[in-house]
Amino acid sequence: MFTPDGLIALTTDFQADSFYVAEMKGTAYAISREARLIDVTHSIPPQDVAQASWVLLRAVEAFPRGTIHVVVVDPGVGTDRRIVAALIHDQVIIGPHNGLFDVVAARYPATAVFELNNQVYYGSRWSSTFHGRDIMVPAAAHLVRGVPLESLGERLSERLVTAGKTVETFAQAEGDALVGRIVYADSFGNVVTNVFARDIPEAWQPGSVQVEAGGQTIRGVVATYGERPAGELVALFGSSGQLELSIVQGDAAQKCGFQVGAKVKITNDFV
Protein backbone atom coordinates (compact mmCIF):
# COMPACT_ATOMS: atom_id res chain seq x y z
CA MET A 1 0.00 0.00 0.00
CA PHE A 2 2.75 2.46 0.97
CA THR A 3 6.51 2.17 0.61
CA PRO A 4 8.42 4.77 2.67
CA ASP A 5 11.68 6.20 1.38
CA GLY A 6 12.88 7.27 4.84
CA LEU A 7 11.99 10.96 4.63
CA ILE A 8 9.98 12.48 7.48
CA ALA A 9 9.02 16.11 6.77
CA LEU A 10 8.07 18.20 9.80
CA THR A 11 5.67 21.16 9.80
CA THR A 12 4.70 22.81 13.08
CA ASP A 13 3.70 26.06 14.75
CA PHE A 14 6.38 25.65 17.43
CA GLN A 15 8.42 28.59 16.02
CA ALA A 16 12.15 28.77 15.28
CA ASP A 17 14.63 27.22 17.71
CA SER A 18 11.90 25.52 19.74
CA PHE A 19 13.14 22.65 21.87
CA TYR A 20 9.88 20.83 21.06
CA VAL A 21 11.23 20.21 17.55
CA ALA A 22 14.39 18.63 18.95
CA GLU A 23 12.29 16.40 21.20
CA MET A 24 10.31 15.12 18.23
CA LYS A 25 13.49 14.45 16.25
CA GLY A 26 15.06 12.63 19.18
CA THR A 27 11.96 10.46 19.51
CA ALA A 28 12.05 9.59 15.81
CA TYR A 29 15.72 8.63 15.89
CA ALA A 30 15.23 6.53 19.01
CA ILE A 31 12.80 4.39 17.01
CA SER A 32 14.47 4.50 13.60
CA ARG A 33 18.06 5.54 12.99
CA GLU A 34 17.35 5.16 9.27
CA ALA A 35 14.91 8.07 9.28
CA ARG A 36 15.90 11.30 7.53
CA LEU A 37 14.13 14.28 9.07
CA ILE A 38 13.58 17.48 7.11
CA ASP A 39 12.11 20.72 8.44
CA VAL A 40 9.45 22.17 6.16
CA THR A 41 8.72 25.02 8.56
CA HIS A 42 8.16 25.59 12.25
CA SER A 43 6.94 29.14 11.73
CA ILE A 44 3.25 28.57 11.12
CA PRO A 45 1.47 31.23 13.21
CA PRO A 46 0.40 29.63 16.50
CA GLN A 47 -2.69 27.44 16.06
CA ASP A 48 -3.23 28.66 12.47
CA VAL A 49 -4.65 25.47 10.99
CA ALA A 50 -5.79 27.26 7.83
CA GLN A 51 -2.30 28.47 6.89
CA ALA A 52 -0.83 25.09 7.74
CA SER A 53 -3.28 23.46 5.36
CA TRP A 54 -1.97 25.56 2.47
CA VAL A 55 1.66 24.99 3.41
CA LEU A 56 0.92 21.27 3.52
CA LEU A 57 -0.35 21.35 -0.07
CA ARG A 58 2.90 22.97 -1.20
CA ALA A 59 4.96 20.47 0.76
CA VAL A 60 3.14 17.47 -0.70
CA GLU A 61 3.68 18.82 -4.21
CA ALA A 62 7.37 19.46 -3.49
CA PHE A 63 8.34 16.12 -1.91
CA PRO A 64 8.76 12.73 -3.62
CA ARG A 65 6.52 9.73 -3.26
CA GLY A 66 7.26 7.75 -0.13
CA THR A 67 7.63 10.86 2.05
CA ILE A 68 5.94 10.92 5.45
CA HIS A 69 4.68 14.34 6.56
CA VAL A 70 4.10 15.04 10.24
CA VAL A 71 2.09 18.22 10.76
CA VAL A 72 1.65 19.44 14.33
CA VAL A 73 -0.68 22.44 14.35
CA ASP A 74 -3.13 21.23 16.90
CA PRO A 75 -5.14 23.70 19.02
CA GLY A 76 -7.37 20.83 20.14
CA VAL A 77 -4.53 18.66 21.47
CA GLY A 78 -5.76 16.38 24.24
CA THR A 79 -9.42 16.55 23.16
CA ASP A 80 -11.38 13.88 21.30
CA ARG A 81 -10.30 15.13 17.87
CA ARG A 82 -8.75 12.28 15.92
CA ILE A 83 -5.13 11.90 14.86
CA VAL A 84 -4.95 10.26 11.46
CA ALA A 85 -2.50 8.96 8.89
CA ALA A 86 -3.71 9.55 5.34
CA LEU A 87 -2.27 8.20 2.10
CA ILE A 88 -2.40 11.14 -0.30
CA HIS A 89 -0.50 11.66 -3.57
CA ASP A 90 1.69 8.58 -2.83
CA GLN A 91 2.77 10.13 0.49
CA VAL A 92 1.54 9.71 4.05
CA ILE A 93 0.37 12.70 6.05
CA ILE A 94 0.09 12.35 9.82
CA GLY A 95 -1.75 15.03 11.74
CA PRO A 96 -4.89 16.00 13.65
CA HIS A 97 -8.22 15.77 11.82
CA ASN A 98 -9.07 19.40 12.58
CA GLY A 99 -9.30 21.01 9.13
CA LEU A 100 -5.63 20.50 8.40
CA PHE A 101 -6.42 18.23 5.45
CA ASP A 102 -9.05 20.49 3.84
CA VAL A 103 -6.83 21.87 1.07
CA VAL A 104 -4.60 18.92 0.21
CA ALA A 105 -7.44 16.39 0.28
CA ALA A 106 -9.59 18.64 -1.90
CA ARG A 107 -6.77 18.68 -4.49
CA TYR A 108 -5.62 15.07 -4.04
CA PRO A 109 -8.29 12.85 -2.48
CA ALA A 110 -7.01 10.40 0.13
CA THR A 111 -6.82 6.76 -0.95
CA ALA A 112 -6.67 5.43 2.62
CA VAL A 113 -7.12 6.95 6.09
CA PHE A 114 -6.29 5.39 9.45
CA GLU A 115 -6.84 6.66 12.97
CA LEU A 116 -3.67 6.39 15.05
CA ASN A 117 -5.19 4.42 17.91
CA ASN A 118 -2.87 1.40 18.12
CA GLN A 119 -0.86 2.26 21.21
CA VAL A 120 1.78 -0.34 20.32
CA TYR A 121 3.19 2.29 17.98
CA TYR A 122 3.04 5.22 20.38
CA GLY A 123 6.22 6.64 21.89
CA SER A 124 7.70 5.63 25.23
CA ARG A 125 6.60 8.93 26.81
CA TRP A 126 3.05 10.17 27.23
CA SER A 127 1.57 13.62 27.61
CA SER A 128 -1.92 14.91 26.91
CA THR A 129 -0.41 18.11 25.47
CA PHE A 130 2.36 16.84 23.14
CA HIS A 131 0.91 14.31 20.74
CA GLY A 132 3.42 15.36 18.09
CA ARG A 133 6.20 13.79 20.14
CA ASP A 134 4.19 10.99 21.71
CA ILE A 135 1.94 9.73 18.87
CA MET A 136 2.59 11.37 15.49
CA VAL A 137 6.38 11.19 15.14
CA PRO A 138 6.57 7.66 16.62
CA ALA A 139 4.04 6.50 14.02
CA ALA A 140 6.13 8.05 11.25
CA ALA A 141 9.33 6.43 12.55
CA HIS A 142 7.65 3.03 12.73
CA LEU A 143 6.55 3.41 9.11
CA VAL A 144 10.18 4.06 8.16
CA ARG A 145 11.10 0.84 9.98
CA GLY A 146 8.67 -1.05 7.76
CA VAL A 147 5.54 -1.25 9.91
CA PRO A 148 2.54 -1.40 7.52
CA LEU A 149 0.34 1.69 7.42
CA GLU A 150 -2.73 -0.38 8.25
CA SER A 151 -1.10 -1.56 11.49
CA LEU A 152 -1.18 1.94 13.00
CA GLY A 153 -4.87 1.83 13.77
CA GLU A 154 -8.45 1.56 12.60
CA ARG A 155 -9.24 2.30 8.96
CA LEU A 156 -11.70 5.18 8.53
CA SER A 157 -14.21 5.65 5.74
CA GLU A 158 -15.00 9.31 6.40
CA ARG A 159 -13.90 12.16 4.15
CA LEU A 160 -11.00 14.27 5.29
CA VAL A 161 -12.38 17.53 3.88
CA THR A 162 -14.58 19.37 6.36
CA ALA A 163 -18.21 19.40 5.24
CA GLY A 164 -18.93 22.42 3.04
CA LYS A 165 -15.25 23.31 2.57
CA THR A 166 -14.66 21.78 -0.87
CA VAL A 167 -16.42 24.56 -2.77
CA GLU A 168 -14.77 27.42 -0.93
CA THR A 169 -11.25 25.99 -0.88
CA PHE A 170 -10.41 27.10 -4.41
CA ALA A 171 -11.47 30.06 -6.55
CA GLN A 172 -14.81 29.94 -8.33
CA ALA A 173 -16.24 31.59 -11.44
CA GLU A 174 -19.00 34.12 -10.75
CA GLY A 175 -20.41 35.44 -13.98
CA ASP A 176 -17.56 37.04 -15.94
CA ALA A 177 -15.34 37.21 -12.86
CA LEU A 178 -13.16 34.80 -10.95
CA VAL A 179 -13.60 35.08 -7.19
CA GLY A 180 -11.22 33.77 -4.57
CA ARG A 181 -9.91 34.81 -1.18
CA ILE A 182 -6.73 35.62 0.68
CA VAL A 183 -5.44 32.50 2.44
CA TYR A 184 -2.22 33.64 4.16
CA ALA A 185 0.69 36.07 4.10
CA ASP A 186 4.24 34.77 3.79
CA SER A 187 7.29 35.91 5.74
CA PHE A 188 7.96 38.72 3.24
CA GLY A 189 4.47 40.16 3.61
CA ASN A 190 3.34 38.85 0.22
CA VAL A 191 -0.37 38.05 0.39
CA VAL A 192 -1.17 34.66 -1.10
CA THR A 193 -4.59 33.85 -2.55
CA ASN A 194 -6.37 30.65 -3.52
CA VAL A 195 -6.40 31.71 -7.19
CA PHE A 196 -4.08 29.60 -9.34
CA ALA A 197 -2.64 30.50 -12.73
CA ARG A 198 -4.55 27.60 -14.26
CA ASP A 199 -7.81 29.21 -13.07
CA ILE A 200 -7.35 32.21 -15.37
CA PRO A 201 -9.09 31.81 -18.76
CA GLU A 202 -6.58 31.37 -21.58
CA ALA A 203 -8.08 34.31 -23.48
CA TRP A 204 -7.20 36.74 -20.68
CA GLN A 205 -3.88 38.48 -21.22
CA PRO A 206 -1.76 39.44 -18.19
CA GLY A 207 -1.99 43.12 -19.00
CA SER A 208 -5.78 43.02 -19.23
CA VAL A 209 -6.44 41.38 -15.86
CA GLN A 210 -7.76 43.52 -13.01
CA VAL A 211 -7.49 42.38 -9.38
CA GLU A 212 -9.61 43.84 -6.57
CA ALA A 213 -8.96 43.02 -2.91
CA GLY A 214 -9.19 44.85 0.40
CA GLY A 215 -10.23 48.13 -1.23
CA GLN A 216 -7.25 48.03 -3.60
CA THR A 217 -7.38 47.70 -7.38
CA ILE A 218 -4.42 46.38 -9.35
CA ARG A 219 -4.42 46.61 -13.12
CA GLY A 220 -2.40 43.93 -14.85
CA VAL A 221 -0.47 40.92 -13.60
CA VAL A 222 3.33 41.13 -13.77
CA ALA A 223 5.79 38.28 -14.23
CA THR A 224 8.46 39.63 -11.85
CA TYR A 225 8.79 42.25 -9.11
CA GLY A 226 11.36 44.06 -11.25
CA GLU A 227 8.72 45.13 -13.74
CA ARG A 228 7.47 47.80 -11.33
CA PRO A 229 9.22 50.38 -9.15
CA ALA A 230 9.86 49.95 -5.43
CA GLY A 231 6.81 50.64 -3.29
CA GLU A 232 4.22 49.75 -5.94
CA LEU A 233 1.49 47.20 -5.23
CA VAL A 234 1.56 44.42 -7.81
CA ALA A 235 -0.17 41.14 -8.57
CA LEU A 236 1.81 38.16 -9.82
CA PHE A 237 1.75 34.39 -9.78
CA GLY A 238 4.34 33.17 -7.29
CA SER A 239 6.41 30.02 -7.24
CA SER A 240 3.42 27.97 -6.06
CA GLY A 241 1.35 29.07 -9.04
CA GLN A 242 -0.93 31.05 -6.72
CA LEU A 243 -1.81 34.70 -7.24
CA GLU A 244 0.03 36.94 -4.80
CA LEU A 245 -0.46 40.60 -3.92
CA SER A 246 2.88 42.18 -3.15
CA ILE A 247 4.59 45.51 -2.66
CA VAL A 248 7.86 45.70 -4.54
CA GLN A 249 10.57 45.69 -1.84
CA GLY A 250 7.86 46.11 0.80
CA ASP A 251 5.32 44.37 3.01
CA ALA A 252 1.86 44.28 1.44
CA ALA A 253 0.19 42.51 4.35
CA GLN A 254 1.25 45.20 6.80
CA LYS A 255 1.00 48.30 4.63
CA CYS A 256 -2.33 47.50 2.95
CA GLY A 257 -3.96 45.71 5.87
CA PHE A 258 -5.04 42.72 3.82
CA GLN A 259 -6.97 40.22 5.94
CA VAL A 260 -7.01 36.44 5.61
CA GLY A 261 -10.38 35.39 4.22
CA ALA A 262 -10.94 38.67 2.35
CA LYS A 263 -12.51 38.39 -1.08
CA VAL A 264 -10.36 38.68 -4.19
CA LYS A 265 -12.07 39.44 -7.49
CA ILE A 266 -10.33 39.02 -10.83
CA THR A 267 -11.83 40.31 -14.06
CA ASN A 268 -10.76 40.82 -17.64
CA ASP A 269 -10.46 44.58 -17.93
CA PHE A 270 -11.41 44.49 -21.59
CA VAL A 271 -14.73 42.68 -21.09
At 79, is the secondary structure helix, strand, or coil? Answer: coil
Rounded-to-integer distance, Cα 210 and Cα 265, Å: 8
Tally the residues of the chain: 271
Where along the chain do the CATH 2.40.30.90 domains lie? 170-268
Residue range 34-80, pLDDT digits in tens? 999 999 999 999 999 999 999 999 999 999 999 999 999 999 999 99
Rounded-to-integer distance, Cα 154 and Cα 90, Å: 20
Q: Which CATH architecture has domain 7-165?
A: 3-Layer(aba) Sandwich (3.40)
Rounded-to-integer distance, Cα 249 and Cα 209, Å: 22
CATH 1.10.10.10 fits 170-268, yes or no: no
Residue range 1-14, pLDDT digits in tens? 899 999 999 999 99
Residue range 123-159, pLDDT digits in tens? 999 899 999 999 999 999 999 999 999 999 999 998 8
Report the candidate in 222, 162, 226, 172 with the shortest Cα–Cα distance to residue 199. Answer: 172
What angle, rounded to 10 degrees, do the helices at 137-145 and 19-31 form?
30
Where along the chain do the CATH 3.40.50.10790 domains lie? 7-165
Looking at residue 16, its pLDDT comes to 85
Q: Label the pairing between strands 7-12 and 68-72.
A: parallel
Looking at residue 169, its pLDDT comes to 86
Looking at residue 158, its pLDDT comes to 80
Cα 129 to Cα 25, 41, 68, 196: the distances in Å are: 17, 20, 22, 37
DSSP state at residue 18: -
pTM of the model: 0.92
At 133, is the secondary structure helix, strand, or coil? Answer: helix
Contacts of 226 (CB under 8 A, 6+ apart): 248
Residue range 100-114, pLDDT digits in tens? 999 999 999 999 999
Residue range 178-198, pLDDT digits in tens? 999 999 999 899 999 999 999
